[in-house]
Chains A and B, each alone.
Chain A
Amino acid sequence: MSNPYIILPIISQLFTAILLMFFWTQKNTQKAISVIMSLVTLGISVWLLTIVLKNGIHVTQAGSWEAPFGITFIADPLSSLMVLLTSLAGLAVSIFSVGSVRNARVRFGYFPIFHFLLMGLNGAFLTGDIFNLYVWFEIIIISSFVLITLGGEKAQIEGSIKYVTMNLLASAIFLTAIAILYGLVGSLNMADLSIKVANLENRRLVNVTAILFFVGFGIKSAVFPLHFWLPASYHTPPPAISAIFGGLLTKVGVYALLRVFTLIFVPDEFMINLISWVAGLTILTGCIGALIQNNIRKVFSYLIVGHIGYMIAGLGMFTEAALIGTVFYLIHDIIVKTNLFMVSGLIFKIKGTFSMRNLGGLYKEYPKLSLLMAIPIFSLVGIPPLSGFWAKLFWVESGFAIENFMLVAFIIAGSFLTLFVMAKLWAEVFWKDGDKLPKKINVKYFWELKPLKRTAMVFPIVFLSLISLYIGLGADHVIQLSTIIGKQLMDTTPYIEAVLGPINESQP
């Protein structure tokens, strides 16, 4: 079904970013525009998901060039869900930025770049063309480069060198993979590639290309052994920026892996083994790495790596139930990781430090806020019926069904390690008696802020915690949605038919 309005989420973010540039020096106007337009985009995304669920997959061809020759934009349930999650996280972080990002950063264009980043994310989710995906990835990384360096503190610059290098390397590998793929089949449209790659004789070359894609996306989504840049950089920028990075940027890599490895390269036994081992080791390294960290943002950074492993594990099992689990976990993880980084920002504003050794006594001083922060922390662990639990049920079930006990063991071990890490964090930060910390001069503490700014910091955490609770307690609805998406990931015929028209069975 052709519908040009599906690119509205991209257009609205682009429009917001350009509009914000006209108010370069007026920081209050920028804040208001950012929040209002994030709300508008959220509305558009909700509308997009509803029409996609109601009327099926929507496709639009840029410039009316028929697929596979033009650039295709496609909104299937998975991509419209990702757009919706981006808008939710974007709205929360936009409000959080109003309260927490320093004026100096706003004056150097924080908000326009933030919306360019969201535009890139929406573009990457909605495109149906592999080279166009590369271009959106570049838009995402150039915006994230600016955001991560904005402010230019020492740790930030050092972190961003690692971040920039690894992302540029990943892009070069991704581009190489596209080049070889184009040389093999002569097409860039993902639906067209799906048919043509399946018919190729030279399976070895196909596997080499698949591994190049896996490495390229693997660096972006931080899987073992390509994850070292993430814990070295994600804790350096301001909490609002960490939140959007931690929530969304690695998940684009996961989305791309899901898309490419279900649509274009259906994994054979070799790829399944590779993905499974990588997933298992990612879970283990991420969760064990989180154990020994002292900085709470580093703990969360390592947990991002560990939980990326879960999602890849779902792909490694490659059954419908496992993919349903992966989609469910993707929904949960984007919301909860964004929320956790905002929580860490709030803790910093209250106490003036990220160090677990020095923190403490938060529960005694702020009991209500502490209970609020407990929701994302325990959702992440997945204590039933909170949101992290349900996906694991799917994975363990399908792991037993296909007798992949290794992955089941890794997933359960990862859950226990996460539980241990979060229990330790809760005890250290909230329960332990806190020392009186020396007051830092260059930090504006939470109680010194105006009520509006305080609300702007607490409201997004409440907002995302409520969504987390809904995902956990209303799991029925979310599972229904994940089931639709999981089915379409296993059976890609609707996707291909939506782009290229009905497939003629007699053709090879």
Chain B
Amino acid sequence: MELLLVIIIGLLYAAGIYMMLRRSLVKLIIGLILLGNGANLLIFLLGRIVKGKPPIIDDASYVLAEIYADPVPQALILTAIVISFGLQAFAIILIKRAYKVVKTDDLDEMNATDEDL
């Protein structure tokens, strides 16, 4: 399971970076989404993937002796997902707006900022 996740994370990062390097605005956003998902899965992986091991200490002991599923990374992912959801929604509206104003989907043609104003 871990190995599978590692490969998926690697693929997500690679695909994300690749998509960001394309010229199209839509692919840029897809790249950002993939990259964000890769980061979220990475946090999930580092919180140990175990089945049926909740981090609950039974009455007889004070510390967890066995390997347990760490709840902190899961809380982190929840936060990260919510944040990236908001940011991605904003980014999608932004490219729609950009398409309307600049009338192109090609990043190479967006060079109004380099002109002398």
Contact = CB atoms under 8 A, between A and B. Distances in A.
Contact of A168 (B40, B91, B97, B111): B91
Contacts of B98: 157-158, 161
Contacts of B16: 172
B46 A182 contact: yes
Name B's interface SS.
helix
B116 interface: yes
Nearest to B116: A294
Given A131-B76, A138-B87, A172-B35, A158 B97 contact: no
A182 B43 contact: yes
Contacts, number: 107
B42 A179 contact: yes
A225 interface: no
Contacts of B87: 138, 141-142, 145, 168, 171
Contacts of A145: 87, 90, 94
B4 interface: no
B28 A165 contact: yes
Contacts of A142: 86-87, 90
B117 A161 contact: no
A208 interface: no
A131 B74 CA distance: 13
Contacts of B79: 131, 135
B97 A149 contact: yes
Contacts of A155: 112-113, 117
Contact of A182 (B39, B72, B86): B72
A157 B91 CA distance: 11
Contact of A179 (B43, B95, B111): B43
Nearest to B91: A164
Contacts of A135: 79, 83
A158 B113 contact: yes
Contact of B94 (A161, A171, A295): A161
A294 B117 CA distance: 8
B102 A175 contact: no
Contacts of B80: 134, 175
B58 interface: no
Contact of A295 (B102, B112, B117): B117
A152 B101 contact: yes
Contacts of A160: 94
Interface string A179-221: 1101100101000000000000000000000000000000000
B114 A232 contact: yes
Contacts of B94: 145, 149, 157, 160-161, 164
B70 to A, nearest CB: 8
A295 B36 contact: no
B69 interface: no
Given A158-B113, A355-B116, A172 B97 contact: no
Interface string B73-117: 100100110010011001100110110011000010011111011
A455 to B, nearest CB: 28
A318 interface: no
Contacts of B72: 182, 188
Interface in B36-86: 36, 38-40, 42-43, 45-46, 70, 72-73, 76, 79-80, 83, 86
A182 B116 CA distance: 46
A134 B40 CA distance: 14
A357 B35 CA distance: 43
B102 A172 contact: no
A175 B113 contact: no
A216 B38 CA distance: 16
Contacts of A357: 116
A165 B32 contact: yes
Given A154-B112, A160-B94, A179-B42, A172 B101 contact: no
Contacts of B43: 175, 178-179, 182
B101 A168 contact: no
A387 interface: no
A60 interface: no
A34 interface: no
A158 B20 contact: no
A56 B116 CA distance: 50
A105 B2 CA distance: 50
Interface in A420-462: none
A233 interface: yes
Given A155-B117, A179-B76, 8 more contacts: A131-B76, A138-B87, A149-B97, A152-B97, A157-B101, A171-B87, A175-B80, A176-B38
What are the 4 A-B residue pairs with the smallest beta carbon separation, nearest first? A183-B46, A179-B43, A175-B39, A158-B110
17 contacts: A135-B79, A142-B87, A142-B90, A145-B94, A154-B102, A155-B117, A157-B98, A158-B98, A161-B107, A168-B32, A176-B42, A180-B42, A182-B46, A182-B76, A295-B116, A355-B116, A357-B116
Interface of B: 16, 20, 25, 28, 32, 35-36, 38-40, 42-43, 45-46, 70, 72-73, 76, 79-80, 83, 86-87, 90-91, 94-95, 97-98, 101-102, 107, 110-114, 116-117
